[in-house]
């Protein structure tokens, strides 16, 4: 059935879900955020500031049983995504799942199969790909402005040393709960890398690192086994090589840098601020149309607005038209990225090149 009224939204998660997703959904005229469920704790201070008037639950199962919802966003830690997504799909609800989609490709393949057997649609929160500057990069590569792409270098370094040495990481420090930078940030990176090139990654050689493995605070010692840095090399289907790495525990990081080298030109970006292209001479700035963030948008949600608003708009159009619209990231994208993440983890353990298997 084609939607002719607002899509009713429920959100699982009182962290990112409450502070970022809810305000952006609410800013879109075609959505109505109806309810919010906590996962581990009830953040009443966040709720009071941003979400007055919503139905509040301490159990997501109770929320979906009591509320009439069309779409539910899962904004919990990755270890819960599988169970929650299956529960929602059994109820026939559309799902927006935080990245990574699951803990393994075995889980994400099952989620994909359950989705195909339902009448619902499934999306993954790879909203980085919808930021205007990243859309422009995709346009340049697909148009062939750089010729045959030979090599891509994608790096990020961040000033996380103080944070990691003076605070607990909680679930993010535990591999069994889906913590770590590979899942949190790498999932976005590898989605972008495959989406930009419109190609699958076929093999990887990787190293995952835990540079700050322990913190001792007033509540005792926290032992960490999830990664806070990683380095990955690999190839696309056509043989193009890439290098991707991330370092969170820098005393002073420099942010994001992307370099794309082709047979006819080079593309550079720094911190998603501008796109520079050279055909052999000086680098020239490529014009990118910017999206204005509404002045009413909260400080917590404003940095995410450019990508996430585009995503929720495409989700609305996809549900309304009963087909995937634009570059909205789907469960299929989430599964493909999970296959790459699995291969990266295997490579780091084996210290070997690993083929990416897309089951």
Report domain extents, the chain. 7-127+307-329, 129-291+337-355
Contacts of residue 5, Cβ cutoff 8 Å, sequence gap at least 6:
none
pTM (predicted TM-score): 0.95
- Give the pLDDT confidence score for residue 41 in this predicted structure: 57
Where does the pLDDT of residue 50 fall: very low under 50, low under 70, confident under 90, or very high at 90 and above?
A: low
Q: Give residue-wise pLDDT tens across range 298-355.
A: 999 999 999 999 999 999 999 999 999 999 999 999 999 999 999 999 999 999 999 9
Given a cut of 70, whether residue 40 has pLDDT beyond it is no
How far is C-alpha 353 from the chain's CA centre?
A: 25
pLDDT above 60 (res 45)? no
- Cβ neighbours of 29 (radius 10 Å): 8
Contact of 98 with 75, CB cutoff 8 Å:
yes
Q: Which CATH class is domain 129-291+337-355?
A: alpha beta
Q: Give me the CATH code for the 7-127+307-329 domain, please.
A: 3.40.50.720
Residue 305 has φ and ψ, to the nearest 5°, of -60, -45
Give the three-state DSSP class for 171: helix
- pLDDT recorded at residue 209: 98
CB hemisphere CA count around 143 (13 angstroms): 8
CA 198, 331, 355, 187 torsion-angle sign: positive
190-200 residue pLDDT tens: 999 999 999 99
């Amino acid at each position: 059935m084609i939607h002719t009224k607002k899509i009713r939204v429920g959100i699982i998660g009182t962290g990112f879900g409450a502070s970022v997703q809810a305000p952006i959904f609410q800013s879109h005229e075609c959505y109505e955020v109806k309810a919010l469920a906590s996962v581990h704790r009830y953040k009443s201070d966040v709720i009071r500031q941003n979400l007055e008037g919503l139905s509040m639950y301490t159990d997501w199962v109770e929320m979906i049983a009591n509320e009439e919802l069309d779409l539910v966003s899962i904004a919990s830690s990755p270890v819960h995504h599988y169970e929650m997504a299956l529960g929602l799909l059994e109820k026939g609800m559309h799902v927006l799942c935080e990245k990574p989609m699951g803990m393994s490709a075995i889980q994400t393949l099952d989620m994909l199969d359950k989705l195909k057997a339902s009448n619902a649609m499934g999306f993954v929160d790879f909203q980085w790909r919808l930021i205007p500057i990243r859309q422009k990069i995709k346009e340049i590569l697909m148009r062939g402005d750089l010729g045959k792409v030979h090599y891509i270098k994608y790096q990020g370094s961040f000033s996380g040393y103080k944070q990691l040495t003076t605070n607990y990481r909680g679930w993010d420090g535990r591999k069994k709960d889906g913590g770590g930078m590979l899942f949190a940030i790498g999932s976005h990176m590898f989605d972008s890398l495959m989406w930009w090139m419109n190609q699958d990654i076929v093999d990887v050689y990787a190293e995952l690192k835990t540079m700050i493995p322990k913190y001792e605070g007033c509540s005792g010692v926290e032992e960490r086994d999830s990664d806070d840095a990683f380095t990955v090399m690999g190839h696309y289907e056509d043989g193009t090589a890439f290098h991707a790495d991330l370092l969170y525990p820098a005393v002073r990081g420099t942010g994001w840098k992307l370099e794309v080298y082709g047979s006819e030109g080079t593309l550079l970006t720094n911190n998603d601020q501008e796109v520079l292209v050279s055909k052999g001479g000086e680098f020239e700035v490529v014009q990118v149309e910017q999206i204005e963030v509404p002045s009413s948008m909260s400080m917590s949600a404003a940095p995410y607005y450019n990508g996430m608003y585009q995503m929720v708009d495409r989700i609305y159009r996809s549900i309304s038209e009963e087909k995937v619209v634009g570059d909205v990231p789907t469960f299929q994208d989430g599964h493909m990225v999970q296959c790459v993440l699995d291969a990266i983890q295997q490579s780091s353990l084996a210290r070997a090149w690993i083929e990416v298997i897309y089951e």
